[in-house]
Structure 1
Amino acid sequence: MAYPAALLSDVPEPFKSESAGGSGIHMHHKFVVIDFDLPTARVYTGSYNFSIAADEDNGENLWCFDDRRIAVAYMIQAVTMFDHYEWRDAHAKVPGGKLYLKTPPAPGGATWFDEDFSDPQKIKDRVLFS
Structure 2
Amino acid sequence: MHRTPAFRGFSRFVSIGLLNTLIHWTVFFVLYGLLGLRQALSNLAAFCLAVTFSFYANARYTFQRRATLPRYLLFVTFMGALSFGVGYGADHWRLPGLLTLVVFSAISLVCGFLFSRFLVFREPEA
Per the shorter chain, which TM-score range? under 0.3
Higher relative contact order (CA 8 A, sep 6+): 2
More strand as a share of residues? 1
- Name the TM-score, length of structure 1 as normaliser: 0.26
